[in-house]
Structure 1
């Protein structure tokens, strides 16, 4: 992968909190836009970064340079920063669908993207959450500023969008803000439709993909698992999922809202695509009282399965080559396919016969796909109206008071889970010190035992006597270490105790000159160099 200088100057004015995330970042020339970068085309996702020998050589040289600078003068600068959990991304709240679809990463490419991100100089761990409403990258960064810069440049290269343009829409959050954001996402609090259930399944899928590929590190794995726990608790303890709780259900709500009330259930419904989203659309239409639904799909197997599940609804299967003729007989067309190219363009819709005045004389296209299945040009027609995922905000406005109350209850749960995760992560800091202090004491014990045995002579002591002396010395060391080690262990349930534990850790590092933190950081950077050289 084309690497950047490992210790370049950091960004100025980068937002660190959610309040600042929506501010436009200062313009800066993209360092990642070149003629050889990878990009996502309408035909699929393509990453070509790091494929030629010159770029690999540059990556190795950059990594070695980072280590040399670290050894020479950069150690103190790095030690001012703890490895940060960060999220950088864009969502339906900050970015139009036109840009989201360019940055969307198909699930089949998540593992590859994680590998490329982890190859960056300052990124230890990574995960990708890409859905129709968001594309977010979660990382553990050796350096917050350097790591974020590298991820931004990676995003620019994989999408073909200059960093300067991306920066207008990206949000960036760090540590507790990043953790809270993921917990809110998992709980459905950051979704277009509050409490939607599908996002929780997508967060779970991130963990499954990461486990299958071996791509998730210890911190990111625990972060996502705790986010799943938070999402489950919010849904079970607040009843936040009642009503329209998914993009699919909101799409149905929106369509029925736009139709004349007297004829909404008699309108002719067409669903294109019988995947997860399409199936949910069909289920929600059924729950609203629709008795006849036409479904266009590549094959009949999924439609047969849905028909078997919804026996009270007449579900009519049509093959893909009958999509246009089926649309000619529909009042409302829902599109939910994985097609990279639009299924409906202006000339297609313009050729369709008009719909009945009983349903308003306008044909509705509700497109919940990213990339979009209905071209933006269709909205130029007088007898057609197009709605995509960004238009679902109208549905969100319903029952606002009740949603806000449930959201407040959910935040209490999220705060509890956030404290639990941060306590776990903070407690990890003392583990290397415990190991190094134990190793330090054992080295002294073994050295003194060797001196002792040499004074007695080789044959003066029996094996039993040597073992007794070794056990006695080991017991002395254990008793001397018991107090310090107990003060380095903490379950994180008491913030005061945790603060004291971390103070004790720093004190022991100073007293015994353990240099634990610097050693760990140097090991991490060495690992990066070895990975680049391989």
Structure 2
């Protein structure tokens, strides 16, 4: 028994039990067989001893002599096996232990297995079982810590948000919730404030969930671009909902309430819906009709759908906005020849050049994202074919190089940025960095630009937050333009799109009506359930009374006739009220119908579940 114990203790390592057994562990069954060399010889010897068919003279022995010989042979085998067996098993166990030790040493010296076995790694199997029992939480990344709502500033509590009364419909009556927008935009807020309020796209889900932690905010969404930073919210109390959002904005950005208040715009209910529809359609953009904003609105819905604080009202509103944006661009001419921020920057740069063309001008672009791609596209269309792209990594910059083979595009990594700037006359900055990349001290000692560009090195920073310091304007040989300086190009664009914008507004009114109709339909659902539930309760009660009066002799056919009769009467009586509840007419009239029917039929929450009353 001791020998067998040693064998089984050592065998798991002597014989591969892992899916990734090393060469040193790969012991085949043949090698185990070789470890017991007596096996085959012992069988041959046994056959020789037992198989005694004839006597010395070749004659057949009597049967009793053969049986006695077999008996002696069997007893000899038993004695030999009893004596030798434990010794052999002990030797086999010692051999297996030695193999285990040498195998472990060889395995520890190997870093990469040279051969994979097809055994089962019990350690891995147990770990996998533990992971299954622990559930999906064991493999999930740690949750992001959300900041709890900060105490409100007393001045914020005393502040009364504008827009308490609107000319449109009161969503509090329609849905018992108000939709509102709080934000700043390029139209009235300087870039110095906007860049402090900006929220990177990867932080939108965190911002949404933090906003939803506030007591008066039921749902939230964030739209942060180079031209705007807006928060959309849903709250039963409009004024306190706005205060909660402004409180979050001040603590998120570090901008005080006094500093932020002059630039805030507020939209409530229908005006908030109008605003998001116009934003999606490009009507509220710095450059009317620009297409990039639609993809950013889509991002709000995509990111929001993964956040807990993004609920059904905002999800439906942003879906309506996406539909509206697509429809305006397909059914009007607002996108015909439309320009983006990148194309406006390229246009402004050409306007500021003394020669008004790019011949002989050295151009650099810092960054290789979407904005840079649009820059290259518009520069190439203006016959600017010599430029250098500086980026943190090569692949994205090289993609631009391959996408525009007609241009002579050089690619440099960020460590060479200052050298590239020194050799350039016009520098476009469109990176995703949140820090200042270029300051006056970096540019002051660079060689002055040639007279071809007026001896001035021009920087066009379309990043938000900005990546260039405003002290560059203090240098006689440098000048910085940011997003706010693009208005010169914008004014020319607005006149060309005035008629298309008017056509777009008509389409947006239709989209708004659809959204408000959807909101009203949500309020009709409980009334429909209660009305049908109450009618069913009355039907069942009266049916039971009729059955009890008619007795127990009713056949199945008669019972079915009674059932069909009562159900038919109920459905015909409910047809007109149900049609009124499902109508898609005026939203305010629809809401009024819902309230009237609720009062006329005395509907309560208990009526939603049919029941038999006596």
**Hey, what's the Cα distance between the residues in 1 that align with 2:479 and 2:160?**
44
RMSD: 2.7
**Secondary structure of 2:402's aligned partner:** helix
Question: Per-residue displacement from partner, 1:65-88 (whole Å, max 9, x unpaired)?
Answer: xxxxxxxxxxxxx87993111111
Distance 1:175 1:461, change over 3 A: same
Q: Is the 8 A contact 2:461 2:468 kept in 1?
A: yes
Conserved? CA contact 1:84–1:175, under 8 Å: yes
Does structure 2 retain, via aligned residues, the 8 Å contact 1:260–1:359?
Answer: yes
> Aligned residue for 2:595?
506
Distance verdict in 2 for CA 1:365–1:424, change over 3 Å: same
Q: What secondary structure does 1:216 align onto?
A: coil
1:224 to 318, 323, 328: 318
Runs (5+) with no aligned partner, structure 2: 1-147, 609-614
Equivalence for 2:565: 472
**Which of 204, 211, 231 is the aligned partner of 2:298?**
204
1:257-290 deviation line (CA, Å, top 9, x unaligned): 1001355343111000001111111111111111
Question: Of 356, 367, 373, which residue of structure 2 is paired with 1:273?
Answer: 367
Equivalent position of 1:253 in the other structure: 347
The C-alpha deviation readout for 1:469-527, integer Å capped at 9, x for no partner, is 444332222221111111111134xx3xx5443332111111233367xx9xxxxxxxx
The count of corresponding residues between Structure 1 and Structure 2 is 452
**How far 1:410 sits from its partner (Å)?**
2.0
Alignment of 1:114-193 (within 5 A): 114-193=208-287
Match of 1:490 in 2: 583
1:14 aligned residue: 162
Equivalence for 1:417: 511
Q: Which runs of 5+ in 1 are unaligned?
A: 20-77, 520-534
Provide Cα deviations, 1:375-401, integer angstroms capped at 9, x if missing partner.
122122121110111111111122543
State the 1:108 CA deviation.
1.1
Q: Is the 8 A contact 1:263 1:359 kept in 2?
A: no
Q: 2:446 aligns with which of 332, 340, 352?
A: 352
Distance between the aligned counterparts of 1:17 and 1:321, measured in 2?
56
The 3-state SS of whatever aligns with 1:252 is helix
- The answer to whether residue 427 in structure 2 is matched with residue 336 in structure 1 is no
SS class of match (2:584): coil
Change (3 A) 1:312 1:474: same
Could you say what secondary structure the match of 1:190 adopts?
Answer: coil
1:108 aligns with 2:202: yes
Distance in 1 of aligned mates of 2:161 and 2:211: 24
User: Structure 2 CA distance, aligned partners of 1:467 and 1:119?
Assistant: 55
Greater CA drift, 300-309 or 204-213: 204-213
Secondary structure of the structure 2 residue equivalent to 1:342? coil
Contact 2:150 2:248 in 1 (8 A): no
Note closer, same or farther for the CA distance 1:276–1:9 as it changes in structure 2 (3 Å cut): closer
1:296 is displaced (CA, Å) by 0.2
Change beyond 3 A, Cα 1:460–1:114: farther
In the aligned structure 2, how far is the partner of 1:18 from the partner of 1:380? 47
Greater Rg, structure 1 or structure 2? 2
Is 2:520–2:590's contact at 8 Å kept on the other side of the alignment? no
Q: How does the TM-score come out when normalised to structure 1?
A: 0.78
Superposed displacement of residue 163, structure 1: 2.5
2:383 corresponds to which residue?
289
2:515 paired with 1:368 = no
- The CA deviation string for residues 35-91 of structure 1, in whole angstroms up to 9 with x for no partner, is xxxxxxxxxxxxxxxxxxxxxxxxxxxxxxxxxxxxxxxxxxx87993111111111
Distance in 2, Cα, partners of 1:9 & 1:318: 52
- Aligned 8 A contact 1:18 1:173 in 2: no
| Contact preservation (8 Å) 2:222, 2:229 | yes
> Structure 1's 373 and 449: CA in aligned 2 closer, same or farther, altered over 3 A?
same
- Give, in whole Å, the separation in 2 of the partners of 1:465 and 1:10: 72
Closer, same or farther: CA 512–164 of 1 in aligned 2, 3 Å: farther
Q: Which residue of 1 aligns with 2:53?
A: none
User: Is this contact kept in 2: 1:3–1:120, CA < 8 A?
Assistant: no
- Contact preservation (8 Å) 1:4, 1:150: no
Residues 344, 486 of structure 2: 8 Å contact kept: yes
Alpha-carbon distance in structure 1 between the residues aligned to 2:305 and 2:332: 30
Contact conserved, 1:11 with 1:145, CA < 8 A, in 2? no
Aligned equivalent of 1:97: 191
For 1:237 and 1:200, locate their aligned partners in 2 and report how far apart those are by CA, in whole Å: 15
Residues 311, 89 of structure 1: CA spacing in aligned structure 2 closer, same or farther, 3 A cutoff? same
CA distance in 2, matches of 1:3, 1:464: 70
Q: 1:2 is matched with which residue: 141, 149, 152?
A: 149
SS of equivalent to 1:109: helix
2-structure distance, mates of 1:299, 1:168:
41
Provide TM-score, normalisation by structure 2: 0.69
